[in-house]
Amino acid sequence: MAPKFEWWAKGNNNRKGTPVVVKMENPNNWSMVELESPSDQDFLISSSSPRDKKSRNKNARQLTWVLLLKAHRAAGCLTSLGSALITLGTAVRRRIAAGHTDTETSKLSTRKSKMFYSCLKVFLWLSLILLAFEIAAYFKGWHFGTSKLQLQFIFTTPFGVKGFFDWVYTRWVLLRVEYLAPPLQFLANGCIVLFLVQTLDRLILCLGCFWIRFKKIKPVLKPDAISDLESGGKGCFLPMVLVQIPMCNEKEVYQQSIAAVCNLDWPKNKILIQILDDSDDPITQSLIKEEVHKWQNQGARIVYRHRVNREGYKAGNLKSAMNCSYVKDYEFVAIFDADFQPLPDFLKKTIPHFKNNEELGLVQARWSFVNKEENLLTRLQNINLAFHFEVEQQVNSVFLNFFGFNGTAGVWRIKALEDSGGWLERTTVEDMDIAVRAHLHGWKFIFLNDVECQCELPESYEAYRKQQHRWHSGPMQLFRLCLPAVIKSKISIGKKFNLIFLFFLLRKLILPFYSFTLFCIILPMTMFVPEAELPAWVVCYIPATMSFLNILPAPKSFPFIVPYLLFENTMSVTKFNAMVSGLFQLGSAYEWVVTKKSGRSSEGDLASLVEKETSKTKHQRGVSAPETEVEKKAEKMKKTKKKKKKHNRIYMKELSLAFLLLTAATRSLLSAQGIHFYFLLFQGISFLLVGLDLIGEQVE
């Protein structure tokens, strides 16, 4: 007797499965509705019933059709893959034909800024020469299966018998063995040690995050603060709150942030909103002024401030605003960048943590992103930032009461700002600067992982590259400036160790240094100097483990783990360059470029606002309404948007490294180093795609 299929029917023997009907008129026109799955009777061996035979033949035909449909879908996928490759080739050809490079718009054309690119070009040309040399040697019989050379051949063969090429290659091998390999191996071993220390740090952070989740640890409000929230009546903790939105030429997003803060659920007589505009574009200034006047007419307490001189960038803007005479009447200040949209209950979820907690200086909320699935670049950024918030900031908040202020979506106690010296203009990371100084003065921080504030991710590689340059050069500037203060401070030795070694050196300096040096310089060089070795576990297993740990807070991003690994190594060239410029005070270290926003959510908000206001006017007048003020504003924004030309660029540093890695991958084939070849090949392709600006927003 045939076995029962309880596992199929989930214990219901009367159910015969899900019926499916397949309809196909021709291979290009088909539809699948349902197919009847097999029942117990279909598996009985019996020829007595013609009806059973007919049923089995029918099911067999339907199964054949399903297999044909799956084959049709597979063929469609192959067709789409081919068209995607054609589109990619067209984009590459168009990009090269246009000839726009990153050097065209660089404001820093000094000799120092070109030094790094020149070094990369020297490495590239040297690798090409060595590759040609090695190929010629390979075909002359110099076959080396591994990096362990049999030097007996060099010393036992009479020099007189050799040709000129053999003599030159012999000298090259001896030079490698005696002079190049030892320092290269020493540098490689040093980077491996740093790599292992960094991996251990990531592992400890992940274990701390797991412990927080397992124990369900999160910031707890004081009992009286909880009762205030529940009552919501008179006598609640409702202090005076100042809200600041610094912005500069961000006409794509100003409306959404102003509207969001004006709708914050807080007593109108206890909140004041400052729009701190550093824009040098007259059209943008007028648009922001109009928006502020509109909300003033609706009863919001909001003021507009504009600086003619943009000295000090964001820090100077915030410092200027805090010097206003009326600031002394306020106890807390909430700061939001121009693309941030706090929910109405933001203040009610953050301010209560300050009640009866006089040591608390900062409450930081988490960011969420409206465009995290826009393209591959935004998906990869989301992985990094998810780890930053979920793991780094949450763990440091719970166990150390300290982390770097993110510059936005946070509430500061004004007394803590004043006690720490206020906003300083000495670096491009004023948020990290004030956080470090507040920590040295004994103030504590809280990170709220369950309070989110919506914002945008950079969608173009150009914008992301400039943002990362600022984020990695600024900490090195700050490290140089605040190191004496950290050493002389009265905080404990453990906190000093965390601040100097973990916060600055390991996570801000060592990470970009070893990532770039190990995978972009040392690994290609070991292909041409095979006496220096990098083990397979360094090239493959440890990076895979690091990527796995980084991607844990964003489990939906697991399909992108390989692109994430390659992209992080690709970004190391930008981060390393920024780190060096910040550490040695090169010109680009003090460059502040506002991250470009697409304004996707604000466009949608504006359209809905236009529709809402138009319908409202029509309802009031009963006829077709004339053009409203909001419609005029929307049209004005569209016209200014059309004037601005955007195009993708070719990034020469990334392109040079792509050819360097691909050259090293070709050389690795001569030594039959499988894992090294594949890593260099895919890493070279990753640099090539980024160098041709094919990873982010594509401008037609």
Catalytic residues: 278, 431
Which sign, positive or negative, has the C-alpha torsion 420, 426, 430, 435?
Answer: negative
Q: Taking a C-beta distance cutoff of 8 angstroms, is the pair 434, 405 a contact? A: yes
Q: Taking a C-beta distance cutoff of 8 angstroms, is the pair 477, 426 a contact? A: yes
* DSSP bridge partners of 367: 453
Q: What is the 8-class DSSP label of residue 326?
A: G
* DSSP bridge partners of 177: none
User: Which strand (E) or helix (H) includes residue 334?
Assistant: strand 332-335
d(CA 443, CA 498): 16
User: Which strand (E) or helix (H) includes residue 513?
Assistant: helix 511-516
Of 389, 364, 481, 496, which Cα lies nearest the Cα of 429?
Answer: 481
Which sign, positive or negative, has the C-alpha torsion 333, 481, 484, 476?
Answer: positive
Q: What is the 8-class DSSP label of residue 594?
A: P
Q: What is the 8-class DSSP label of residue 696?
A: S
**Beta 302-306 vs 271-277: how paired, if at all?**
parallel
d(CA 599, CA 338): 10
Q: Taking a C-beta distance cutoff of 8 angstroms, is the pair 569, 519 a contact? A: yes
| Residue tagged 């059973």 (tokens) | 52
Residues contacting residue 588 through CB under 8 Å, at least 6 positions apart? 108, 113, 469, 473, 577, 578, 581
| Residue tagged 């090293």 (tokens) | 664
Alpha helices per DSSP H over 587-691: 600-621, 629-643, 652-670, 674-691
Residues contacting residue 188 through CB under 8 Å, at least 6 positions apart? 518, 522, 526, 532, 533, 534
Q: What tokens appear for 29 in the block?
A: 């026109």
**Beta 332-335 vs 444-455: how paired, if at all?**
unpaired
**What are phi and psi for residue 360, nearest 5 degrees?**
-80, 125
- Coil, helix or strand for 612? helix
d(CA 349, CA 264): 11
Q: What tokens appear for 515 in the block?
A: 């990532």
Of 369, 316, 366, which Cα lies nearest the Cα of 597?
Answer: 369
Measured between alpha carbons, how far apart are the two ends of the chain, in Å? Answer: 66
